[in-house]
Amino acid sequence: MNKTMTVIPIIVEFEEKEFDSDLEKEQIELAFVTDNEGKLVHNFKDWSFLRKFKKLKVLKLYRAEILNRFSNNFFTNLYSMEKLEKLIIEESLISLPDKPLPSNLFPKNFKEYEIKFDLKYLPSDIFEPNKGKDYKEYEGIGDLDDLEYTYEWFTKGFPQLYDFPNIEKFKKLEILNFYNIFDTENSQGHLFEMDNSLFYKKINIIKSLLKKANVKKINIFGLNLNSNKIYDEEKARDDITGKSFIYFEGEIFKSITELYNTKKIIFNSENPLKYLKKYYRVSNLKEITNLAMTSGIPKGVKNFTLGEEGTIQIKMKV
């Protein structure tokens, strides 16, 4: 989609009639203006004007602030846009509705949801945010300097795609974007805390979308599958027999395995099978799946110890 996006500044004395000249546009950006203290100079309590944009395919919200009490109104009107294919948010605060929307209300042609971040927070092939020497190999979007105020905003200030109301009805989705945030307490980012991570808790929703929608690829921004750190080996030992084995606890690869078994999907622009083979140290998907589901714990093992002698060890129970 290469058409030019029309930017509409939402200024102090903005009136909805000012939208009239742009109602036929296919792409618009609502750019909310802030004062010297960072507060919006104008905001909307009623978003019904969105329905007037009959041809709109792409909506971008820049510095929007949709508080909880107006969220139901926003999503109701957003979902009523028949042509809408993509929602982009940048430097925005978007609350989810506190009450369910009608089950038959969802955007019929919606294909993608994108969150844009300041480039100084977004890891890429050409730039790495400043995470300090102690967290240099940590995954996630964000940096150490601004973490005090960005972490709360990035993790709670806007929804991930799987949290959207009636997401299971989005049958035209083509790209699934998710955003993993830098966290000093978790080397793999906030989505992949060990044991029942935020991302894995939503795995059934994502698998359902792969089955029902026309999904072509999945992106997890803030996750570098080429990082050696996420392939670290975890040694374990059966407390009864003393036999050692590799314990595969990484929820990143457990999640990717389940998704890849659901649909042979492109992941972060690549076939993820090569990364699964690297992590699980086997060459076929059947063996990978078995290790992912069992965490590599051999059959019959009831109690085991994580860590080698001379290091910190943890007693585990199956």
| pLDDT confidence band for 195 (50 / 70 / 90) | confident
* Residue 311: per-residue pLDDT: 78
Report the distance separating Cα 265 and Cα 272, nearest Å. Answer: 8
What single letter denotes the amino acid at residue 101? L
Report the distance separating Cα 59 and Cα 86, nearest Å. Answer: 6
* Residue 269: per-residue pLDDT: 94
DSSP string, 86-110: EEEEES-EEPPPSSPPPTT-S-TT-
Per-residue pLDDT of 260-314, as tens digits, reads: 999 999 999 999 999 999 999 999 999 999 999 999 999 999 999 998 877 778 9
Q: Does the pLDDT of residue 2 top 60, yes or no?
A: no
Q: Does the pLDDT of residue 53 top 60, yes or no?
A: yes
| pLDDT confidence band for 125 (50 / 70 / 90) | confident
Place of tokens 């790495």: 128
Report the distance separating Cα 130 and Cα 140, nearest Å. Answer: 11
Find, among 65, 20, 26, 59, the residue nearest to 44 by Cα.
65
206: part of which helix (H) or strand (E)?
A: helix 203-212
Q: Does the pLDDT of residue 157 top 70, yes or no?
A: yes
Q: Does the pLDDT of residue 41 top 60, yes or no?
A: yes
* Residue 129: per-residue pLDDT: 96
* Residue 193: per-residue pLDDT: 84
* Residue 132: per-residue pLDDT: 94
- Per 3-state DSSP, the chain is made up of helix, strand and coil in percentages (nearest 5) of 30, 20, 50
Tell me the mean pLDDT in the region 10-21: 95
* Residue 64: per-residue pLDDT: 98
Among 39-43, 153-157, 187-191, 310-314, which is the least confidently predicted range? 310-314
Model confidence, pTM? 0.94
Tell me the mean pLDDT in the region 103-109: 96
What single letter denotes the amino acid at residue 311? T
Q: Does the pLDDT of residue 1 top 70, yes or no?
A: no
Q: Which two tokens stand for residue 53?
A: 């944009």
Residue 286 — left, alpha, or beta (φ > 0 → left; ψ -120 to 50 → alpha)?
A: alpha
| pLDDT confidence band for 108 (50 / 70 / 90) | very high
Q: Does the pLDDT of residue 3 top 80, yes or no?
A: no
What single letter denotes the amino acid at residue 91? E
Mean pLDDT of the chain, nearest integer: 95
Tell me the mean pLDDT in the region 193-198: 84
Residue 269 — left, alpha, or beta (φ > 0 → left; ψ -120 to 50 → alpha)?
A: left
Place of tokens 């063996």: 287
